[in-house]
Amino acid sequence: MVHDVRTEVSKVVVGQDPVLACLLAALLVRGHVLLEGVPGVAKTLLVKTLAATLDLEVNRIQFTPDLLPSDVTGQLVLEGGTEFAFRKGPIFTNLLLADEINRTPPKAQAALLEAMEERQVSVGGATRPLPEPFVVVATQNPVEYEGTYPLPEAQLDRFLFKVVVPYPTGDAEVTILRNHNAGMDVHDPTSAGVRQVASVADIEQGRQAVGRVRVDDVVITYLVQLARATREAPSVALGVSPRGAAALLHATKAWAWLSGRDFVTPDDVKAVAKPAMRHRLMIRPEAALEGLTADRVIDGLLATVPSPR
């Protein structure tokens, strides 16, 4: 399944294999992903192309300053003049693309909180379960751009990964322009021959296989030491919580399985440490003014916390 999905996605999106690996890992452990990058680096295109390879219902919400929570979750509407009925919002889907999530105010952003954590929506005093699988992939532009609303810590913690989408390499960009020159329609991945190659059953089999991946106690101890080290770092005001440490554990199991192994190694931990932890660190203002970033803190911890052999 994984090889076929990667092959199909590469027909449209070039040079973003690490980002695709994070999306697949999240799908396998029921996690959500936040993609951050400047406009034009194929964040939305990557998600749309991945969706085209999967037998899943997909909805997209374009987050805007005037978006209301009911535009996400749905609302009660009067039918027949006497009774209220619930009209489902676009969140009732398998794969939700929350495009430019930081373009909408916190009230609309918060409409996703319950859904991402408990996979349900509460409207009008009733709780309604979401379909299974349910995965949110959100995109955002860097917060220093005008007209954005930074996500609060409580919502950031709902994401398994925060993946920074870089510019493609020179060779990859040449291939991208060749594809455009050949007439590729970036709004329709199927026009490039992208096929559906994975079913819900395939995803469930992958999830069960990831659940069987072995994690030795020495690796679990290493994970805990990394998480605790973020809380003790003098430049960090808020470190990785136990929930964040558990998310890191699940991420390493998915990464190991995607790498063709049924056991986790310390290298798996190091491979996912940044996307799994960068959004869970709050850097102290005085350290941030000096240019310190979450990635630099994580690099330092990976260099100093002893890794099991």
Q: Per residue, what are the HEC states of 119-177?
A: CEEEECCEEEECCCCCEEEEEECCCCCCCCCCCCHHHHCCCCEEEECCCCCHHHHHHHH
Whether the CB-CB separation of 154 and 244 falls below 8 Å is answered with no
What is the CATH T-level fold of the domain 2-165, as seen in this structure? Rossmann fold (3.40.50)
Whether the CB-CB separation of 237 and 283 falls below 8 Å is answered with yes
DSSP string spanning 233-295? -TTEEE---HHHHHHHHHHHHHHHHHTT-SB--HHHHHHHHHHHHGGG-EE-HHHHHTT--HH
pLDDT at 145: 67
Cis peptide before 166 (omega within 30 of 0): no
**What are the domain boundaries of the chain?**
2-165, 207-304
What is the CATH T-level fold of the domain 207-304, as seen in this structure? Helicase, Ruva Protein; domain 3 (1.10.8)
Whether the CB-CB separation of 197 and 8 falls below 8 Å is answered with yes
pLDDT digits (tens, 9 = 90+) for 51-107: 889 988 889 999 988 998 889 998 888 776 677 788 888 999 999 999 999 888 888
pLDDT at 278: 95
pLDDT digits (tens, 9 = 90+) for 277-287: 999 999 999 98
Strand 161-164 relative to strand 236-238, pairing: unpaired
C-alpha closest to that of 15 among 41, 54, 48, 44:
41
Q: Residue 50 is encoded by which pair of tokens?
A: 């991945």
Strand partners, 158: none
Is residue 15 pLDDT above 90, yes or no? Answer: no
Q: How far apart are the first and last CA of the chain?
A: 32
50 or 182, which is more confident: 50
pLDDT at 190: 80
Q: Residue 199 is encoded by which pair of tokens?
A: 């079913």
Q: Residue 251 is encoded by which pair of tokens?
A: 């991420």
3-state class (DSSP) for residue 84? strand
pLDDT at 81: 67
- Measured CA distances, 52 to 44, 123, 226 (Å): 12, 31, 37
| Mean pLDDT confidence for 166-171 | 91
Q: How many CA atoms lie within 13 A of 21 on its CB side?
A: 20
pLDDT at 144: 63
Is residue 143 pLDDT above 70, yes or no? Answer: no
| Mean pLDDT confidence for 10-19 | 89
pLDDT digits (tens, 9 = 90+) for 60-72: 999 988 998 889 9
pLDDT digits (tens, 9 = 90+) for 233-262: 999 999 999 999 999 999 999 999 999 999
C-alpha closest to that of 72 among 19, 113, 124:
113
Whether the CB-CB separation of 268 and 302 falls below 8 Å is answered with no
| Mean pLDDT confidence for 278-301 | 92
Strand partners, 86: 76
